[in-house]
Structure 1
């Protein structure tokens, strides 16, 4: 299994970096809305320096592929691609929704998680995941972007935990699904969990060259307000 992986994520308000070297993980994490571009590279330098590892000594570079903020996802993949190009590293995209499920497991040992991120425009990014015996995650309800009232999980039996900002933004959704939310719960993905998931992705052969790495927006189109006189 790959032993040296760097992960970066700026897909949400949270900005985070993690470096896995063997069984050790070094992390930097900060809530920094609109400051990702100034925060992320110093975080990368910090974890590499603390580990005494050069970028070109890594085995792979993981990134939060989304879903999340359109701008945040683009910033994350752009920075990750720049680092990967410079060091000739393969890249692995990691779902922010699955990363939050992994964080729930890391913090509470919960093995069934429904993740939902506030997608604005009265919508959520949502998916449902269950931990497998090997430590990877099975997709129960595929990732989607939709209005909260239209979300119908494929599995409702058993004990399910929630993760993500979507539950705070739309508390009626949790009430309808008979799920309880906590202000102390997992709200945003962290790179610490992405390095764990990246190892499984590498094992599945999902690594790609830097120029082939791509984000996941879920929305087919993004509508921008056009300035007067422009097409």
Structure 2
């Protein structure tokens, strides 16, 4: 199976190519995100792997939660490529991808959601224990049991307000490599969707806040 994976939900943008179990990846840290980075690196990665778009069997993308702009970028790119090639598309949860990328048995995942909120979820051996939610850091609930590791940039931004763990890894981000590895077996089982059905998972329902709401959350005009 040849699978293209895209992950742009955070400032760390990445693309990966699954080639029958071998994974190639390109990544860049872009504080403001960049739609100009994505497609050129998709084509460069395909060239590196020695395959063309027409040899792909599916496309996966980091579906969220995460940056609204980033989620739309990955979903739109995946849909656009899939339409032209009539390929199945599969969205992979950003927090699940981060947990997988961590390699931890028990991963409590937390990403900075801006507006004084975080996206959190918990996974044990890849099984979702706490479903992705958005909440103020002080309201984030810790899973029961010991051995949990805090993963994600939420711990860099709000570490004093979040549940305490013996160890945290705030440098971790979701990766296209993880998206590819999670998506490959599911696409092989026929779980891919038509391009028109592949949508981002925003979690936060309201994208835009009024000035009054931003100020109430401690933001700026």
TM-score by length of 2: 0.89
Deviation at 1:85, TM superposition (A): 1.0
Aligned partners of 1:35 and 1:167: how far apart in 2? 21
Residue of structure 1 equivalent to 2:167: 180
Structure 1 residue 225: deviation in Å? 4.6
More divergent stretch after superposition (198-207 vs 41-50) = 198-207
**Aligned partner of 2:120 among 108, 122, 126:** 126
CA apart distance, 1:23 = 2.2
1:207 aligns with 2:192: yes
> 2:59·2:82 contact (CA, 8 Å) conserved in 1?
yes
Query: What displacement does 1:142 show?
Result: 0.7
Contact 1:148 1:170 in 2 (8 A): yes
**Contact 1:84–1:90 at 8 Å: present in 2 too?**
yes
Paired residue secondary structure (1:38):
helix
Offset from partner CA, 1:65-88 (integer Å, 9 cap, x none): 010011111111111111111111
Is 1:159 matched with 2:141? no
SS of residue in 1 equivalent to 2:122? strand
Q: In structure 2, which of residues 72, 86, 89 is the aligned counterpart of residue 88 of structure 1?
A: 86
Displacement of 1:207 after TM fit? 1.1
Which of 55, 58, 61 aligns to 2:59? It is 61
Q: Deviations over 1:3-27 (max 9, x none)?
A: 2111011111011000010121111
Cα RMSD of the aligned pairs, angstroms, is 1.7
- TM-fit CA distance, 1:38: 0.7
Distance 1:210 1:162, change over 3 A: same
2:33–2:70 contact (8 Å) kept in structure 1: no
Task: Report how many aligned residue pairs link the two structures.
Answer: 211
The answer as to whether partners of 1:56 and 1:89 remain within 8 angstroms in 2 is: no
Structure 1, 211-220 or 193-202: larger mean CA deviation: 193-202
**1:224: how far off?**
4.3
The answer on 1:141 being equivalent to 2:140 is no
- For structure 1, the residue ranges without an aligned partner over 5 or more in a row are 132-136, 227-231
Please state if 1:216 is matched with 2:201. Answer: yes
Cα-to-partner distance string for 1:153-175 (whole Å, 9 max, x where unaligned) = 3x33121112111011101134x
Aligned-pair CA distance for 1:204 = 5.7
How far off its partner does 1:55 sit?
Answer: 1.0
Structure 1 stretches of 4+ with a deviation exceeding 4 A read: none
Task: Please say if residues 149 and 165 of structure 2, whose CA atoms lie closer than 8 Å, have aligned partners that are also in contact.
Answer: no
State the Cα deviation string for residues 115-166 of structure 1 (Å, max 9, x = none). 11100111000100011xxxxx21001110011111113x331211121110
Which structure 2 segments of 5+ residues have no match? 212-221
